[in-house]
Structures are given as structure tokens and as C-alpha cells.
Amino acid sequence: MPKLSIVKIGGAVIEDPVKLASFLADFATLDGHKILVHGGGKKASLWAEKLGIPVHIKDGRRVTDAATLELITGIYGGQVNKNIVAILQGMNCNALGLSGADGNALQAIKRPVKAIDYGFVGDISQVNTTLFSNLLEQNISPVCCAITHDGNGQLFNTNADTIAAEIGKAMAAHFTTVLYYCFELPGVMKDINDPASLIEYITEESYTDLLVNNVISAGMLPKLYNAFDALKGGVKEVGIGSSKMICNTTPYTSIKLK
């Protein structure tokens, strides 16, 4: 099967134009089919304040109301997405930006209301593998923002890590898929302050040991949950590390089932 790299970048890279350009230069030279998934960054909060859009927190969790959804659709789906696409085009990478609504790329259902109503937050129900495959076959690299839709006219805010994992699982039937989670640390660390404590390999077995021994910080758990979810769904390898890991110039945490 052909190879597919799915790379997710978060706020820290997006907010720094120099880091972003450097990362995109690496992404542009990555061999084979590739998909970029990006988060948002802090501009949404900055603009919300200036525009007088209140931040809604319920039980410690951020809620996406209509005004916030409109704001992040503009910032993530417009400003950040189109800026990334234009820069990649300038690097001879034929990028094409997508929200989940575009070409019905990513369909979701509103997160069910239990203890908390998260508002316009969607959990992915369907990945349009035909659309992604057709674009990749034309040597187009999809650039996905963290927005999905319900197929009935409603957009949703959706976690970018989860989007990357769901695309990976869905595409694994057609491609040998590797998923890279780039963030501000060198990878999964035993001690966040000690670069030498990077864990270079994690398997399902060693993951259980790490959990039992409380080695992994709470902040890493959702990323690792997504990683194993993707691996069990057919993704071959998940990398967690700095944005430099995609060009293999720096150590990172490589996660495989075995």
C-alpha cells in the first residue's frame, strides 16, 4: 500500500511565524502522500476579548457557543488555514484547505449532553475517504482545520488531535498510515524538565506499565489515548514529539502496538 503521513500541529507552532515557516518547509519536503491537521492557537481568545465575545466555562470545561463557533470558524478555518495553504503553495506543496464541511470531509454528531452541554462541539461519525483519496491521487495535500459539520448545515468545533486520529483510522484501509503529533515537548517524558528522560518507544505492554507506575503526566493521557485508538484502528505508527520529528532529525516517542 502507498504511504500516508498525517501530521498534526498545535498552537505553539502556529503562533510563531518563524517556527511555522520552518515546520512547513519540512512538511513540504516530506515524501509521499501527506495530510496536515492544525489546531488554533491563542488568537481566538485574544479576538474574543476584543470583540466582546464572552468565554463560557462550565464545570471547568470550555463551551462553544454560537458566537465562539463563528469566531473560530473565521480564525481556524479562514486565517490560519489559508495562511498555511498559501505558504505551502509557495514551497511547491500543492495544499488545499478543508473544514469538515468541505466536500463532506468530516461528518460529526453534536456531543451528547450529559453532565455538561459543550455547545457546538462535534464527535466525528464519518471520514470521507473517497474525497481524501481523490485529492491525494492528484498530489494534493489536504490541510484540515479543527472544524466538522453535521451534514445538516451546522458546523462544530472538534479536537484536532482526534481529527488526526480519525482520519488515520479511516485511511489505514487504503494506505500504510503514520500519524505524527507535533507539540512543544520532545515527546513523552518521564520528567518534563529533563530532555534525557524522553521515552523513545512505547508499546501497548509498556504503556500499561507506565500507567500503573504513574510515569505519564495527566496532560499526556488524551494524546496517548488517541494514539492507541489510532493504532488499534490500523495506523502503523504514531509519533509524538517536536515538529522536527517529521524529518527524522530529532528523537521522538515512537508508539506501536507491539
Name the site residues for a copy of itself (rule: CB under 8 A).
Answer: 47, 50-52, 70, 73-79, 81-83, 85-87, 89-91, 94-99, 101-104, 131, 134, 138, 140, 147, 149, 151-155
CB 190, min distance to a copy of itself, A? 40
C-alpha 191/C-alpha 196 separation (Å) is: 9
- For a copy of itself, the closer of residues 41 and 186 by Cβ is 41
CB 118, min distance to a copy of itself, A? 18
DSSP 78: I
- For a copy of itself, the closer of residues 7 and 147 by Cβ is 147
- For a copy of itself, the closer of residues 14 and 224 by Cβ is 14
Residue 122's nearest CA partner among 142, 95, 102, 150 is 150
CB 79, min distance to a copy of itself, A? 4
- For a copy of itself, the closer of residues 167 and 198 by Cβ is 167
Cell 510563531 -> residue: 16
CB 77, min distance to a copy of itself, A? 4
Cell 473517497 -> residue: 130
Cell 491537521 -> residue: 37
* CA pseudo-torsion sign 28, 32, 33, 37: negative
- For a copy of itself, the closer of residues 109 and 257 by Cβ is 109
C-alpha 221/C-alpha 229 separation (Å) is: 12
CB 138, min distance to a copy of itself, A? 6
- For a copy of itself, the closer of residues 3 and 82 by Cβ is 82
Cell 493521557 -> residue: 221
Partners of residue 6 on adjacent β-strands: 35, 179
CB 46, min distance to a copy of itself, A? 10
Residue 37's nearest CA partner among 228, 257, 252, 230 is 230
Question: In a 3-state reduction of DSSP, which class is residue 56?
Answer: strand
- CA 134 from chain centre, in angstroms, equals 21
